[in-house]
């Protein structure tokens, strides 16, 4: 019989809903698991055991009165510390937000709690979501459960590691250039970035407002689909929220992939992909073909320019968004003899090196005389990338690539070379620039480390990428493998 922390979100919700298992039992099992493994993994920044147990007891009491079970009844969830919970710390992995407690709860979090989910705590991340390894947190480094000497990916590394280590069956992250899909791949879990506008960003601390999107981590596609049905939908608090109701994503899974066309941009994959990763990707395509899909070649001619485009658009938006952290209104304040030095010294001490680098770059590309040459041109290339996908989706139903060019790298391996670190997101960034949905599905191992299969879909067609991912998981068992951590 499986330990409670091994159960999927779907299984937990079903058993708690029919009262063969209590939400309190589930939460206690996960808190015990966290107590045993957290010192080795360092996935969490803030644990909320009392709050979680109180919520679980409240749900159990409500179910005992005959209340209909909500869809996520008793499912423990971890939150990336870029999502607000009223009255509780939100640090974004940065020292500049020490002591900040938001006066409201993020819509995405409120929807999960309304659906019966129980928040366990807030997870570690690269500072302000700027990083690909979770080495850039202002507090600590999260470790990859598959190899504690390697990074979990980023920026949502704490959430990915928590799900991989079975500290929570579900976690939320944010994806600006791959920050859900890339760590999902490196940690061997499912990570879904919905279409831009599908999930409300109200209560998500902004990095790059035209790129950021909230999404789930889970160990199965079915769990990700279950969570998304509660997570998605229009929100009047978010002007970029799409006025679309959330479908029943799980209902789409049974359709399978028979007859679906999977497009592969082989020219884009010619350089920089590790041999083991590429071999694992090819095998994943063979599995999908055996399940009834048809693999076709497509072209994404402007995708090689995506990294350069992203680091102009994202840094420009970050420069604007992070101007609010000045030591006056909230967070860290460094005493200084005058206002100008208060601004400068607070920001100097509060921000880490990577955040400063991106603020400086973003400020430069927005400055007089350079705006059109850099930021304006980047926006035009962004349009070309989106049009590439529109053309591709005329010839296929979904696009497949490896999620990352390599498996998880060792701590310190890329920190001295920012460009090398940025290239870890070479396959994930195009989807954010185009605003389309994407998922990473565990598809095997290279050198004993997880490899991710990325599936991209048309705007607001999460159902198709979830169908592909679920069909793949039905035909394989990679998602059932667990990291070699002691219980």
Residues annotated catalytic, as ranges: 80, 155, 179
CB 157 within 8 A of CB 41: no
3-state helix, strand, coil in the chain (%, to 5): 45, 15, 45
Q: Give residue 384's Cα distance to chain centre.
A: 25
Place of tokens 């869809």: 71
**Host H or E run for residue 282:** helix 275-290
Separation between Cα atoms, residue 484 and residue 367, nearest integer Å: 50
Indicate the burial class of 445 (C-beta count within 10 angstroms; 0-12, 13-18, 19 or more). Answer: middle
Beta bridge partners of 297: 264
Give CA separation, 475 vs 286, 458, 468, 479, in Å.
11, 24, 11, 11
Query: What does 145-164 look like in DSSP terms, one character per residue?
Result: TTBTTB---SSSHHHHHHHH
Rounded CA separation 116/56 (Å): 9
Q: Which two tokens stand for residue 428?
A: 């994930």
DSSP state of 190: E
């Amino acid at each position: 019989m499986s330990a409670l922390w091994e159960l999927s979100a779907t299984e937990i919700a079903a058993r708690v809903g029919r009262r063969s298992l209590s939400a309190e039992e589930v939460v206690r099992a996960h808190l015990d698991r966290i107590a045993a493994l957290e010192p080795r993994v360092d996935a969490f920044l803030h644990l909320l055991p009392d709050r979680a147990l109180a919520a679980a007891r409240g749900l159990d009491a409500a179910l005992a009165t005959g209340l209909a079970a909500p869809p996520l009844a008793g499912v423990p969830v971890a939150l990336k510390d870029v999502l607000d919970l009223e009255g509780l710390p939100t640090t974004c992995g940065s020292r500049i937000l020490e002591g900040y407690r938001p006066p409201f709860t993020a819509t995405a979090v409120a929807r999960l709690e309304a659906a019966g989910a129980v928040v366990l705590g807030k997870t570690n991340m690269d500072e302000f979501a700027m990083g690909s390894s979770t080495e850039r947190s202002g507090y600590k480094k999260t470790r990859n459960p598959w190899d504690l000497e390697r990074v979990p990916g980023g920026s949502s590394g704490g959430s990915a590691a928590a799900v991989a280590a079975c500290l929570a069956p579900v976690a939320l992250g944010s994806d600006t250039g791959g920050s859900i899909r890339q760590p999902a791949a490196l940690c061997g879990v499912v990570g879904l970035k919905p279409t831009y506008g599908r999930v409300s960003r109200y209560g998500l601390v902004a990095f790059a407002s035209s790129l950021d999107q909230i999404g789930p981590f889970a160990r199965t596609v079915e769990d990700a689909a279950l969570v998304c049905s509660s997570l998605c939908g229009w929100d009047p608090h978010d002007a970029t929220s799409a006025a679309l109701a959330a479908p029943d994503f799980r209902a789409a899974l049974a359709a399978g992939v028979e007859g679906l066309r999977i497009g592969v941009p082989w020219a884009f994959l010619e350089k920089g992909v590790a041999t083991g990763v590429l071999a694992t990707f090819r095998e994943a395509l063979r599995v999908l073909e055996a399940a009834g899909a048809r693999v076709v070649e497509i072209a994404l001619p402007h995708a090689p320019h995506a990294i350069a485009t992203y680091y102009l658009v994202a840094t420009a938006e970050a420069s604007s968004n992070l101007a609010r952290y000045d030591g006056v209104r909230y967070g860290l304040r460094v005493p200084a003899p005058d206002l100008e030095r208060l601004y400068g010294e607070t920001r100097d001490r509060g921000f880490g090196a990577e955040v400063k680098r991106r603020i400086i770059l973003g400020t430069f590309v927005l400055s007089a005389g350079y705006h059109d040459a850099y930021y304006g041109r980047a926006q035009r290339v962004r349009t070309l990338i989106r049009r590439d996908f529109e053309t591709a989706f005329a010839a296929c139903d979904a696009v497949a690539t490896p999620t990352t060019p390599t498996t998880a790298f060792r701590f310190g391996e890329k920190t001295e070379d920012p460009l090398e670190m940025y290239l870890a997101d070479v396959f994930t960034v195009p989807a954010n620039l185009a605003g389309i949905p994407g998922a990473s599905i565990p598809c095997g191992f290279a050198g004993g480390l997880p490899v991710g299969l990325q599936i991209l879909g048309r705007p607001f067609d999460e159902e198709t990428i979830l169908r592909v991912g679920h069909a793949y998981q039905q035909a394989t068992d990679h998602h059932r493998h667990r990291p070699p951590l002691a219980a």
